Each structure stands twice: as C-alpha cells, then as structure tokens.
Amino acid sequence: MTYPKFVVTDLETTGHASKGNDRIIQASFVVIENKQITGQYTSFFNPQMPIPMFIEELTGISDEMVKDAPLFHEAAKDILPLLDDAVFVAHNVAFDLQFLQAELERAGYSSFSGATIDTVELARIVWPMSDSYKLGELTGNLGLIHDRPHQADSDAYVTAEMLLMMIEKLESLPMVTLEKLEQLARRLKSDIYLLMKAIIETKQRNIEQLPEQIEVYRGLALRKKKIERRFVEKASLAYPETKEEKAALLSAVPQFELRNSQMDMMNLVYESLQISKHLAVEAGTGTGKSLGYLLPAVYRSKQEKEPVIVSTYTVILQQQLLQKEIRQLQKVLPFQIMAAVLKGRSHYIDLYKFTQSLKETSDNYDFVLAKMQILTWLLETEIGDVDEINLSSGGELFWNEIKQDGDYMNKGRKAWLDKDFYLHAKKQAKEADIVITNHSLLVADLAAKKSVFPPYTHVIIDEAHHFERAARDRLGVSIDQTGCKQLFGKVGTYEQKELFYQIEQLFVKYCLSEQEDERISINRKLQELQFESDEWFKVLQMYFDHHTKKRAGSSWHRRQLRLTSESRQLTYWDHVEYGAERIDLLIGELVVWMKQRLKKITEFREQMTASEQMKMDDFQEMIEEWQDFQLALEKIIFRPEEDEVIWMEGDSRSLSNTFVLKSHPMEVAKMIQEAILEKKHVIFTSATLTVNGSFQFFAAESGLSSFDHNEVILSSPFDFQKNCRMIIPNDVPNVKSVYHEEYIEALANHLTAVAEAAKGRMLVLFTSFDMMKRTHDLMKDSGLIDDYILLAQGITNGSRARLTRNFQRFDKAILFGTNSFWEGIDIPGKDLSCLVIVRLPFSPPDEPFTQAKNEQLTQIGKNAFSAYSLPQAVLRFKQGFGRLIRSSTDRGIIIVFDRRIQTNTYGKTFLRSIPDIPVKEASLSETVEMIEDWL
C-alpha cells in the first residue's frame, strides 16, 4: 500500500455557525502525493455579508479584499477535483469539514464522503510532551516559518509541512509501537489508522533496526534507562570565597550580570551549610536566588559526599532549576554535577498496569488517546513522570488507573522491576549531589516511617512562603463526592463485574467452593453502600445549600461553610450524622468480609497468574482506601478535634462535581519543628518572607522562631525609584460606601481609560472571582475597547500558562486574574507595563481557616488582625507587586484602587514592605496623563 493523497485544508470564515449565516471568506487546499507537496489552490470568496470586526482583526481580511472575489459556488468546480480520492486533512478537521460540507450543499453538490485526518489529534499522539496543540505554537516549536497566521494559504501550507514531519516521526517508531497505535487508532475521531496502516505496510518491506537508545521488553518499546553515577572528586574542592573568584567562575554563564546581592546570598548559604545553623533569606526580585543557593549547595554536597535536598512549591520552578540553573552551573564548574528530581509515587507510571490496560478494549475516547500518547512518550521519557506529558482531563482519569501506588509485589510487577521509573528515580537520587523535590512530598516523607530520600543533612526550602500551607494541605484529610463514587465504584456489585465479581471468581476457582448465600448477602450490602453514599451526599448538599444561601449574593458561586459545634446544631445536621453512621457501619462489615476473603485466597497466591495476583493487590489496596475513608469520617463527622479546622466547600453551579469536606490542622509549626528543624539543617528562601522588614510572622508560622537562626533581607538590585511609579486613584468611590454595581461600573470605566493609555499590556489582579467576572463582562460589552483582547482566568479557556502566553502574543491585551495570578507568572519586558491591584488581598473574614485562626488568636489575647490577617495580606501584596518589574530594564506603573493603602494606618505596612517608589494620588484624567507620559 502506498501513501494516500492528502489534501490539507484551511478555511477562514465570518464566524462559527456553518449551519447559520456564517460563510467562508478564504480557502486554501495543499495537495500532498507520495509525501511531496505537489500543488496549492487558494482563493478569497465573497461572503455577501460584512466581515465582523474581530474576524478582520484576527485574519487581516477586510471587506475590500473580498468584494470582487468569486462566490463559493462559482469556484466549487475547481475545488472538487482536488478532493477526489483524497484524505481530507485540517487542524481541527471537524470545523473546516462542516463549513465545506455546508457550502457544497448550498452550491447543489453532494458532500465530501472520504476519510479525514485531524492534525490536532495526530499531534497529540506524535508529540505528547508538547505544551500546546495550537497551530501557531506547534509550528513555532518545530521551526516552521508561518508568516501570516490566520490566513488560509499560510495556515494550510504550514499544516501540510507539519503533517509531513509527523509522518516522518511515525516512520521512525518501532514496529511494536506502530502496531499497537494502529489498533487503538480505529477508535479515534478521525481516520488516523489509515495513515498508520500505510506506514506499517511500507516498513514491513525492510528489516527493522531499532535505534540504540530503544529496547523492546515484553512487547513494549521503551527508551533505555541508565543510572548516572556520582562523580567523586579526589582532590578537595575550594569554594570560591571572593567576589573575583565567583565572577571569574560565572562569567561564562550567558547574560551573566554581576549582582552583589547574589554574591552575598552565596556566601550566606555556604556559611550556613558549614555551621549547620538555620537560615531565612528574603531575596528580592532579580537577586538570582536559585543560583544564589545552588552554587554553595553543590560545593557543600561534593565536600560532604552527601546530597543537598532542594524543595520547591511549583513544578515550574523544579523544571527551571533542572533545565536552566543546573545546566548553567554544569557548564562553568570544574567538576561534574549530578541532579535528580524525586516526586511522589503517583507521578510515575506503573508499566505493568499500562501493559494490562492495552489488552482492554474500552471505547472511552480520552482513554484511547491517552494510551496512544503514552506509547509514543515511552520512547522519549527517561523519568516516566506525568508532568512531562500533556494529557486531557479525561486522560488524567486514565492516568489514575495506571499510576504507581502500593508496594505489593505480584508476578507481573516483579517482571517490570528493572524498568520501573519510580525505583529508577529513587536510585538516581542516591547518586545525586542535588535532589529536587516538592514541599508536599517532603512533608509526607517527614511524617512517614521510612524515607524515600537518600540520607541527607541539609535541606533548602525555596518558595518558602508556601511551606506552612503545603504542610497543612498534606496533613489534612478530605472527602469528595467524585472520589467517593470512584472508591465504591471500583469494587462494584456482582452484576457490574468489577473487583468484587473478579475476587469471587478467584475464590470459586481456587477455593473450589461457591458460597452463594454469602455472596448474595455481600452483594446486597454493596448495593446498599452505593445507595447510602449517594443519599448521604444529597443530604450534605442540602445542609450546605440551606446554610450558605442566606449569605450568598446571587452571583456568588464558590461557597464555604465551616463546621463548628454551633453549625453542628443546625437543621439537617442530624441527618448528616445518621447517614455517615450507616455508611461507616456498612464499610466496617464489608471490610471484615474482604479481609477474610483475602486471607483465604492468599494461600493460593503462588499458583495464580500475574493478572490474578494484580487483582488481589488491587483488592488489598482498596481495603486500605476504605479504612482511610472511615478515618476521614471519624475526623470530620464523628470526633472532630479542637485543633482542626473543618469545612465544606463547593461551586453552586456544579455542586456534585466540586463539593468537598476538608479537615486541616490549625498548627503545623510544631510538626515542622519536630520532624525537620530538630533533625536537619534548613535554609528557607523566597522573594516574600518579611512584613515591614520583619521575619516575625514567617518564623512563628514555620516553627523557626523556637530555634537559633539567622535572618537576612537581600534587596532587589533593580532601580525601582527610577523605573516604577504607584498611583492611587482618588475619584473611585469607596467599595463599602456604594452599591456593588456602582463600584464595578466606576472600576470598569477607570480600567477602560487606563487600558487605552497603556495600550493594553495590563494585568489586573482581583481578590474576588465574582468582581473580576462582572468587571470583565462590563468592559467587554461596553464596545469601548473592541480592538483589545480581553483574557480572564476561569472565563477565557486555557491554563494560567496558556493565558499568559496569549497575553504576550497580542499587542493590545488585558489579562484579568485572581488567586493564582498574584504570583508565579513571569512577563518581562514591554509585554507588561501596567499592573492594577483592585483590592488589598485580605482573606475574607469568613474563610474557614482565617476565621478559626482569628478565634484562636483572640482566645490567647492577641489582636487577630495585626497578628494574622494583615501579615498574610502583605505577603500576598508583595507577590502581586513582584509581577511588574522582572528585569533591570523593565519600566512600569502600578495602580492600587484600594484607598485603604493611604487612608488606614495599616496601609503604611503594605508600602513599607515593598521597595521605596514614588506614590501619588490622582484623578482619572491625571492618571491617564501620567501613564501616557511615563510609558
């Protein structure tokens, strides 16, 4: 079989409604025969309607350009021959095909009935580690020249080039992978299996030679893994003490700038590592914090022949440390560095479970696509970490079925031991000088009986302002409806043929007895459990809805309700307790039966097949999960403890998918003290640790205040006085003195004027999603800034990273964000010139944890506001402020709409906690004038 003829198509249209009034305004068809581009047909079409403004902005195609163009039906006779016997290819094929079919029908022709290939779907399989599958971003990463994005001829041509690159990549895959892909591809949305089939038939004509780095094990092609051994230096290594020595060493780092604060940090960290005295370092933006601790850490690790652990909060920083800073150091240091990343077990794939899943014939589209992505990913990954692969949300559900979990050793898993990614990560960590991990795993490890880390003395905690929160999250427990459904659905009833049915089959097979009465009784209890848990969540939600509705505004969706001794006296709570008691009783009875079953079958374990042993392991693991669920019920419902904060939360728009019960410890400082500060040497660092120049709040929250330690503030090397201005508008009403709608209207008017003065390039930070959504909608609907792109977290599709990338792509863009946008987004240069902070970021007083903390502080005679709420808000404000100036050449204006920063006495604490910059109160017209002059 030779390759089919492909016609790669792109259409530009007046909108999305192919069945409605929208029409094609430009079409391009690129013909590929025998893997060669042999021709391209492109034409504008007169849509007989005005082209909408946003389409003209996007495509650059105007009414003028199409006014003399043919109508589609006049050109159809030239287009149809191109499609004869061809595979129709497009990037998001369903969109282009439905428009083409609609136009063909209107022109009186029969619709296209051939095969189709979607290059979005194919790209997901071929490049599973790509950040984005948007055409512009894919082609940019591939180095394809795409001179006019959103014009059909340019889009179609690069899509054709990309298709040829994907075919080339597929041709290089091992036959065992291609055969599995071809079987799975029959369940995709487009006809990719035809392409796979052609490639397989072509490859079968030659003898296959596997690339050196690939091996085939038990029918699965994988990239070979090797443990990199630690390089032990024979001579003792002298740390570069002086500024000149450091400068000489680091001068080879690209774009290296000599920064005194970074040099100071290196010496502080090195001294702390030598004398093992705890240290807290606040390193302002631009200090070069990561290199500031990595250089001394590497020297100390080499000298002591023991790894230094570096813990971060975000995956982004982990990747940056490994791919940027460690690589930079490796190039300039006169010795080899070994760095490894170690994450929690569930980050890694279980290859045995994955191979078993390939035998299943589920038609779930997301699962099929995820399996195909993983098959190609396994040829590239050396670490098997889920963070590398771009799975859909449905694909993430599939990951839950094939991730690493327990330590149970069945025959099947034993066969994969040498290939296991989690064990490989642990072995590699033993050889590393620097082990990079995350706060969550570090906390879990401190609480565990046996450590997953190699022996270590020193730990550096970066993004340390999150450490206390991460510890609370990790040590807390939760119960959610989706998790509960999965938990009880996994065992299933006998009729559902899940785990209960499978274990019963094993029992009959090996114990040679069918206890039908017992089976019927257990089956009834399992049905009862599923029914009772569904009913219980209905009661919980009724209780939650009833007691949060009174406080909720009509558009306030995300609600929380703290469970206190008072709220446990309210209507419906007794129903909540009765339901939990019934579930607890049923689980208790079922667990006793499960353990008995397991005990009897375990005697025959050695006679079982690998997949039968895996079922037993799944059963064992499920018993433990059910017992954990009972403990969570105990903690949250039956015997709540005073030092725990317990609450419910959910989004009223989709309560069953978002509803969750949580319990967090009030204090983790004692645990941090006992588990880490007493046993290890710790360096805490972040850009935001101090309030008003003091570490007092951070030291108390993290348990550091009970130990002898050093504290240092290293200010940013950037010239904020010269490059930054703050404006506080004095003609916006006080939010408390007017109706909500009136305030939002005033805010939207100001932001519109500011956006025009700043030409977009503006990040607006909110503390409330509701206020953000209303402001965004009002500005969008006003028609005053139609030529601006408005991007908003939770409203515009896409992750935080994607929204940030899109913001940087457009000249006139405004980015709206809440919670997670206050930190961790990095937009250097002219892309961001104006930062707006709408309200000072205080946690709502009725937020469960804040409320409980405030009560606790009041009981011991402290002022809860100044001891907790204010420091929390200041640290968050500092994070937000840090988004604006990201390099020494950045210039920007920050506008704070919250007058309290000037009018309230505590406002000075916010201003004293950021670099000293000129602050001015101004009216709207003055603000606009200042922005235009300044930028």
Give the annotated binding-site residues for ATP.
283-290
Name residues whose C-beta falls within 8 Å of residue 734's C-beta, 6 or more positions apart in sequence.
Answer: 899
**Longest Cα separation, the chain:** 89
- Angle (CA) 609-615-621 rounded to 5° is 140
Burial class (CB in 10 A: 0-12, 13-18, 19+), 417: exposed
In this structure, the number of other CB atoms found within 10 A of the CB of residue 920 comes to 12
- Selection from 590, 591, 587, 615 nearest residue 602 by Cα: 615
Q: What is the DSSP string of 204-250?
A: TTS-----TTEEEETTEEEE---PPPP---SSPPPP--SHHHHHHHH
Give the distance from CA 762 to its chain's centroid.
24
From the list 844, 846, 847, 866, the residue with the least C-alpha distance to 857 is: 866
Classify strands 214-217 and 644-651 as parallel, antiparallel or unpaired.
unpaired
Q: Which residues pair with 921 in a beta bridge?
A: 728
CA distance 696 to 703: 11
Q: Which residue has the tokens 């009414």?
A: 63
Sheet (strand 116-118) strand order? 36-44, 24-33, 5-13, 86-90, 116-118
List, as residue ranges, the binding site.
283-290
Give the bridge partners for 540, in sequence order.
none
How far apart are alpha carbons 618 and 624 in whole angstroms? 10
Please, what is the end-to-end C-alpha distance for the chain in angstroms? Answer: 62
CA angle, residues 637, 630, 649, in degrees to nearest 5:
45
Using CA atoms, how far residue 261 sits from 149, 603, 715, 863, 913, in Å, is 44, 65, 7, 36, 18
Other CB atoms within a 10 A radius of the CB of residue 266 amount to 25
Alpha-carbon distance of 649 to 848, in angstroms, equals 10
Alpha helices in 305-325 (DSSP H): 315-320
Q: Specify the DSSP element, H or E, that contains 681.
A: strand 681-686
Task: Find out whether 582 and 533 touch, Cβ atoms under 8 Å.
Answer: no
> Using alpha carbons only, what angle is made at residue 668 by residues 664 and 674, rounded to the nearest 5 degrees?
140
Helices (H) and strands (E) in the chain, counts: 39, 25
Structure tokens at 42: 């492109």
